[in-house]
């Protein structure tokens, strides 16, 4: 990414927002179903500062929109958040976890290791990670809905609301495609949250942000880095960098796709700055990108708008918003998460079509010879099996690294006979000699 590319990206952002401002605004809200619940729980536990999280994630939204020109999400590092919630991390421990992951990603980006890693991962494994992430989102949302009753826990948050919002989602796929679904749902949820807060006499008040430095000390470094950071590394590398780059190329082919190095440096920079001020560790993610795209976002203008809103709200209300946002209906957030998961699962359908990145590349290389890349039935089956093994193990173990390892082993198992035959042929031709 260089400064010369910012001008055309800005022109694209502005022109897209002017033509489709409602879709861009609605799309900017698509990832709130992931962002809000985790940020709120961490803030309620005094593990992170909600004000700092809103302010810094807002700044990062603005910068990514300006530099990349796509609706790139800024979302929580889920593995770190899960450990921090389960073990009631101190602010220093979660900051150490985010800084550790950022430092490792920065080294990988600066040395080119991330580029090499991306080149050697087969497309079926990448799509398996994306589909697995989508299914994981759906399962998490469904778990939240199972905890609701038909009319409980309140008139404003129950399964009846979830069914109604889900039916509205289905309508946007058919007869009401132009409806800004996410924007409407968010407004409904916000109105309900305000009413519930007013009834409880706990409305937010103006509370200007007072920044405070968070410096991990002593055992907080080892606790954060080892107990939470190590588990986050494969998730960040695979889903927040590699899968994001591939997904952006698939769903936004007319926009220049960010490089793996640029996305890696972005993830590193966000946490090497924000974590020192009590902000939640954040990354980009294929699930958030799919969600924002699903609800209408097509340019960086969407996340710039979201970032400005976060920045203003964080500066003026900050910590006083915890109570209000806790009253946002779980049913509405869960259905938005399901929609995001479904959008991410859909990328698996292009695995064996000419639109797949590896097949498109082979097609371009073959332009001077054969006109198309043709997969035999056996090859198509192999690619599906590698993807499904990746998906199955990822979802079953709830671990991206396990799914990735299983997918790679499956891929290598299919490649083994070809490698053996190639080695035998080289031996018979005398091209391999013993010393």
237, 156: one domain? yes
pTM of the model: 0.76
pLDDT in the model for residue 65: 94
Q: What's the CA gap between 433 and 415, in Å, rounded?
A: 23
Burial of 343 (0-12, 13-18, 19+ CB in 10 A): buried
Separation of alpha carbons 25 and 306, rounded Å: 8
33-42, 45-54, 139-148, 256-265: range with lowest mean pLDDT: 33-42
Closest CA to 297 of 241, 347, 248: 248
On whether both 400 and 251 belong to a single domain, the answer is: no
Q: Measuring CA to CA, how many Å separate 422 from each of 80, 358, 425? A: 44, 22, 5
Instruction: Verify that 380 and 324 share a domain, yes or no.
Output: no
**Residue among 50, 124, 359, 116 at smallest CA distance from 261:** 116
Segment 6-20 shows an average pLDDT of 91
Position 282 scores a pLDDT of 95
Q: Rounded to whole angstroms, what are the CA distances from 236 to 94, 98, 159?
A: 16, 11, 33
Helix, strand or coil, per DSSP, at residue 154: strand
Provide the pLDDT for residue 396.
Answer: 87
Within a domain: 367: no
Q: Give pLDDT tens digits for 329-381.
A: 888 888 877 877 787 787 777 777 765 566 655 544 444 444 455 777 888 88
Query: For the chain, what is the largest distance between any 2 Cα atoms, rounded to a whole number of angstroms?
Result: 85
Are 280 and 167 part of one and the same domain? yes
CA 423 to chain centre: 41
In a domain, 274, yes or no: yes
- Report how many domains make up the chain: 2
**89 shares its domain with 215:** yes
Domain contains 354? no
**Token pair listed for 363:** 């097609």
What are the pLDDT digits (tens) for 286-324? Answer: 888 988 988 889 999 999 999 999 999 999 988 888 888
Cα 10-23-282 angle, rounded to 5 deg = 65
Residues 153-186: tens digit of each pLDDT: 888 889 999 999 889 888 877 666 666 777 788 8
User: Coil, helix or strand for 157?
Assistant: strand
Does 316 lie in the same domain as 184?
Answer: yes
Q: Are residues 277 and 404 in the same domain?
A: no
Do 175 and 244 have their domain in common?
Answer: yes
At 281 the pLDDT is 95
Q: Are residues 323 and 385 in the same domain?
A: no
- Position 434 scores a pLDDT of 46
Between 355 and 117, name the one with better pLDDT.
117
DSSP annotation of 283 reads E
By percentage, how much of the chain surpasses pLDDT 90?
A: 29
Q: Which of 286, 354, 281 minimizes the C-alpha distance to 129?
A: 286
Rounded CA separation 133/144 (Å)? 17
Positive or negative torsion for Cα 406, 74, 94, 274: positive
Q: Which of 306, 247, 284, 304 is nearest to 66 (CA)?
A: 304
Phi-psi region of 90 (alpha: psi -120 to 50; beta: other; left: phi over 0): beta
**Judgement on whether residues 53 and 187 belong to the same structural domain of the protein:** yes
Q: Are residues 257 and 405 in the same domain?
A: no
Query: Range of 400's domain?
Result: 376-428
CA angle 354, 357, 359 (to 5 degrees): 45
β-pair partners for 76:
282
* Residue 181 counted as domain residue: yes
In this predicted model, what pLDDT tens digit does every residue of 189-238 receive, in sequence order?
889 989 988 888 888 888 888 888 999 998 999 889 888 888 788 778 87
Q: Pick the more confident residue, 336 or 103.
A: 103
Per residue, the 3-state secondary structure of 49-91, as one string, reads CHHHHHHHHHHHHHHHHHHHCCCCCCEECHHHHHHHHHHCCCH
Domain assignment of residue 415, yes or no = yes
Compute the distance between CA of residue 271 and CA of residue 102 in angstroms, rounded to an integer.
Answer: 6
Could you give the CA distance from residue 96 to residue 17 in angstroms, rounded to a whole number?
38
Q: What is the pLDDT, as a whole number, of residue 163? A: 92
Residue 89 forms part of a structural domain: yes
- Does the residue 290 lie in any domain? yes
Same domain, 263 and 392: no
Among residues 327, 347, 367, the one where a domain terminates is: 347
């Amino acid at each position: 990414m260089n400064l010369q590319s910012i001008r055309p990206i800005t022109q694209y952002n502005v022109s897209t927002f002017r033509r489709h401002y409602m879709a861009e605004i609605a799309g900017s809200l698509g990832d709130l179903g992931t962002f809000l619940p985790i940020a709120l729980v961490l803030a309620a536990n005094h593990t992170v500062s909600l004000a700092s999280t809103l302010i810094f994630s807002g700044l990062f939204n603005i910068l990514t929109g300006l530099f990349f020109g796509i609706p790139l999400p800024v979302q929580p590092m889920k593995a770190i958040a899960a450990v921090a919630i389960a073990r009631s991390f101190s602010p220093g421990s979660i900051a150490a976890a985010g800084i550790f992951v950022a430092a490792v990603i920065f080294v990988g980006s600066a040395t080119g290791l991330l580029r090499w890693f991306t080149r050697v991962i087969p497309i079926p494994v990448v799509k398996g990670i994306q589909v697995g992430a989508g299914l994981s989102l759906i399962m998490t949302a469904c778990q939240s809905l199972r905890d609701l009753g038909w009319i409980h826990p309140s008139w404003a948050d129950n399964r009846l609301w979830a069914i109604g919002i889900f039916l509205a989602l289905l309508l946007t796929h058919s007869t009401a495609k132009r409806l800004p679904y996410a924007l409407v749902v968010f407004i409904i949820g916000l109105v309900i949250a305000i009413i519930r807060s007013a009834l409880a006499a706990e409305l937010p008040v103006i509370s200007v942000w007072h920044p405070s430095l968070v410096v991990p000390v002593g055992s907080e470094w080892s606790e954060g880095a080892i107990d939470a950071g190590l588990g986050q590394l494969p998730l960040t590398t695979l889903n927040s960098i590699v899968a994001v780059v591939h997904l952006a190329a698939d769903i936004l082919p007319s926009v220049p796709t960010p490089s793996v190095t640029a996305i890696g440096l972005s993830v590193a920079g966000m946490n090497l700055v924000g974590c020192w001020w009590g902000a939640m560790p954040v990354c980009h993610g294929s699930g958030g990108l799919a969600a924002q795209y699903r609800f209408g976002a097509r340019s960086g203008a969407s996340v710039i708008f979201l970032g400005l809103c976060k920045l203003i709200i964080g500066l003026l209300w900050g910590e006083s918003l915890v109570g209000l946002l806790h009253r946002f209906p779980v049913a509405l957030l869960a259905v938005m998460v399901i929609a995001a998961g479904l959008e991410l699962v859909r990328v698996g359908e292009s695995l064996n079509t000419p639109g797949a990145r590896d097949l498109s590349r082979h097609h371009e290389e073959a332009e001077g010879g054969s006109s198309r890349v043709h997969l035999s039935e056996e090859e198509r089956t192999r690619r599906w099996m590698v993807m499904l093994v990746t998906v199955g193990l990822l979802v079953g173990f709830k671990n991206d690294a396990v799914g990735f390892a299983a997918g790679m082993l499956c891929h290598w198992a299919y490649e083994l006979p070809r490698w053996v035959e190639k080695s035998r042929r080289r031996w018979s031709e005398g091209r391999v000699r013993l010393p």
